[in-house]
């Protein structure tokens, strides 16, 4: 067992554990915090996959924006009576079943795939994924259009969110 494998395992367990806690905890704020932990674990995995930029982006965007946003939302939609009691709805058994079946199915299907156990290929030290990514995102031959569209999407979402959450009473 190499060091990388150990690190991976620790990270994986941490992530999965945090994720599990997210979906199980009764306290919603705790769930948000556990979510932060899970997202952090995902960032670490990104690092292990030589996607440094994505790791940073993950932390900044997901944890820095999205998770915070969720905490704000929890704060704004607090009902004391709702926080007590089990936080799962009566169909949790069916949900569990579906999730389990899906996991089993996916695993089984993937294991039949030939490329299931591909080892990690070497990448040359001269390769710079960051530079490549930057060029790909603004290059007309590559992904500039999706990039621009994504920005438009964000503007739209921004405006949309404001509109939806606009409080008519206070104007």
The rounded distance, in Å, linking the Cα atoms of 99 and 23 is 12
Residue 123 binds other proteins (CB under 8 A): yes
Among 84, 121, 141, 171, binds other proteins (CB under 8 A): 121
Contact assessment for residue 75 and residue 83, using Cβ atoms and an 8 Å cutoff: no
Residue 51 binds other proteins (CB under 8 A): yes
Among 56, 62, 84, 125, binds other proteins (CB under 8 A): 62
Among 114, 126, 167, 171, binds other proteins (CB under 8 A): 167
Query: Exposure pattern of 44-64 as b/e (b: 16+ CB <10 Å)?
Result: bbbeeeebeebbeebbeebbe
Site for other proteins in 73-102 (CB under 8 A): 73-74, 76-77, 79, 82, 86-89, 91-92, 94-96, 98-102
Among 37, 133, 140, 141, binds other proteins (CB under 8 A): 133
CA nearest to 45, candidates 2, 20, 11: 11
Residue 142 binds other proteins (CB under 8 A): yes
Residue 31 binds other proteins (CB under 8 A): yes
Closest contact distance (angstroms) between CB of 80 and other proteins is: 12
What's phi and psi for 167, nearest 5 deg? Answer: -95, 105
Contact assessment for residue 137 and residue 144, using Cβ atoms and an 8 Å cutoff: yes
Residue 116 binds other proteins (CB under 8 A): yes
């Amino acid at each position: 067992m190499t060091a990388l494998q150990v690190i991976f395992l620790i990270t994986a367990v941490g992530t999965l554990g945090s994720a599990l806690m997210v979906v199980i905890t009764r306290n919603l704020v705790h769930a948000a915090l556990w979510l932060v932990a899970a997202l952090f674990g995902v960032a670490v995995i990104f690092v292990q996959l030589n996607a440094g930029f994505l790791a940073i982006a993950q932390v900044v965007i997901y944890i820095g924006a999205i998770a915070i946003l969720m905490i704000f939302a929890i704060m704004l939609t607090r009902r004391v009576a709702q926080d007590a009691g089990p936080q799962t709805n009566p169909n949790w058994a069916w949900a569990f079943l579906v999730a389990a079946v899906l996991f089993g199915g996916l695993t089984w299907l993937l294991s039949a795939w030939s490329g299931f156990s591909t080892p990690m290929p070497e990448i040359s030290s001269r390769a710079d994924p960051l530079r490549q990514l930057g060029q790909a995102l603004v290059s007309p031959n590559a992904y500039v259009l999706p990039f621009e569209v994504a920005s438009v999407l964000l503007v739209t979402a921004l405006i949309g969110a404001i509109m939806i959450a606009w409080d008519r009473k206070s104007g």
